[in-house]
Amino acid sequence: MLEDLCDMMCVMLITPRRRSSILATEHLPSRISMMIVVCLILALVLTNSVKAQVASDSSRRPSKRSSTYRIDDIGELPTIAADVTVSLNRHGDVAYWTRTNDLVYAAVWSNGHSTLIDNMASYPNMIAHSINGSGDVGGWMNTSGNLVDSLSTTQGFVRHGGHVEIVPALGGRDSRVFSLNDKDVAVGAANTASGARHAFVISNSNMSDLGTLPSGRASTAFAINNSNVIVGAADFEGKANHAVSWTHMKILDLGTLPHGAGSSARAINDLGQIVGFSDTPDGVHAFLYTNGAMQDLGTLGDDPSKASGINNHGEVVGASNITNTKRHAFLWREGRMTDLNAFLPAGTPWILLDAFSINDGGQIVCSARRKGEPIHLILLTPQ
């Protein structure tokens, strides 16, 4: 390109523009000098332009030499169950759980410090699922030393202003709180008198049964946004669950990815975008539901994948297998799923396994492992 421009300048400067060939020849040395100066200027401009373009392209790619995120190790994360996740609010505060003296405590991590929530009498174990912008925490606790003891009683709770309130069931035994919004509205699932599990919502201390799909008998509410739109899962014709949403107490079946049998919605942002996972003919895939359509987000190489969190910029986090035996955390944005480990510096000891939640500042809370150590909870903060 530079050579073409220089050739063009030569033609423009050397070709006589006056009828007198003698006059044109007299001005030839000065024209050649001008041509050389112009070519040098063009070369400098084009060189700087190329450098700027290279720098711009490099900024779009995750670097393996320097980290895109600051890494905060919150501590060991005891394994509970697949549907038990960690929450992050807009300030970067994390609601999670930790083990102390063989008991599990709900905890909040904020600005580098962890605070335990004291277990209540008769409830030796407590799990924190959700935290809102005010620092209120929701979760559940049980009456057994074994968190998965089917004979124990499980009760949901909401901690507001330092005071823990127990969430009753819907006439049955057990309840769990899965999400809180910034308006102090809580959602979850509880047993009815018949023993069926139904989604519920609590607003202004009033608890309401969200019901089920017309053909089903069970439902769970996993998340709520600040417009009080609720998402979760409900069984379809007594078979597989379908992802669902509730708006003004009315349930909507979101369906599945094409040719899938089941699905589940796990998070929603304030724009109404919903994420979760669904069956496909190729296996279980993460999805993004927006404007009435469910989009397959794919995998990092192998099934399954699942989406657990979404912020108001439409950035999605979750986990996907990279082989049939290895799972990594992912970040999906601008139509592309990327292994979050690609954003960490070369030589880091951490392997990010799952991403649970992302806030509007781009902070992501993940589970991670170092060789020979148990799973830890990691907070990634963009640099």
- 164-201 per-position pLDDT tens digit: 999 999 999 999 999 999 999 999 999 999 999 999 99
Q: How many helices (H) and strands (E) does the chain have?
A: 3, 28
Question: Reading across the β-sheet that carries 230-235, which strands appear in turn?
Answer: 219-224, 230-235, 241-247, 250-255
| 167 within domain boundaries | no
Element (H, E) at 22: helix 21-26
Secondary element (H or E) of residue 138? strand 137-142
Would you state the structure tokens that stand for residue 295, as one six-digit string?
Answer: 């989009």
Query: What per-residue confidence (pLDDT) applies to 85?
Result: 87
Q: Is 118 within a domain? A: no
Instruction: With cut-offs at 50, 70 and 90, classify the pLDDT of residue 148.
Output: low
Least confident of 65-79, 94-108, 155-169, 365-379: 65-79
In a domain, 261, yes or no: no
In a domain, 113, yes or no: no
In a domain, 156, yes or no: no
339 Cα distance to chain centroid: 12
Mean of the pLDDT values across residues 310-314? 98
Residue 159 inside a domain? The answer is: no
Q: What is the mean pLDDT of the chain?
A: 85
- For residue 90, the SS3 value is coil
Both structure tokens of 78: 């005891």
The percentage of the chain sitting over the pLDDT mark of 70, rounded to a whole number, equals 81
Res. 21: pLDDT tops 80: no
Query: What range defines the domain where residue 290 resides?
Result: 270-383
Torsion of CA 369, 299, 85, 365, to 10 degrees: 60
In 3D, which of 311, 253, 84 has the Cα closest to residue 178? 84
Q: Domains in the chain: how many in total?
A: 2
Query: For 261, which DSSP code?
Result: S
Decide if 176 is inside a domain: no
Residue 295 lies in a domain: yes
Helical packing angle, 2-14 and 28-60, nearest 10°: 160
Tell me how far apart the alpha carbons of residues 27 and 123 are, in angstroms, rounded to a whole number: 98
Longest alpha-carbon distance in the chain = 109
Q: Is it the case that residue 311 has pLDDT exceeding 80?
A: yes
Would you say how long the chain is, in residues? 383
Looking only at the bridges linking them, the beta strands covering 206-211 and 125-131 are: unpaired
β-partners of residue 310 are 316
Please report the pLDDT score of residue 13 as a whole number.
36
Confidence of residue 354 (pLDDT cuts 50, 70, 90): very high
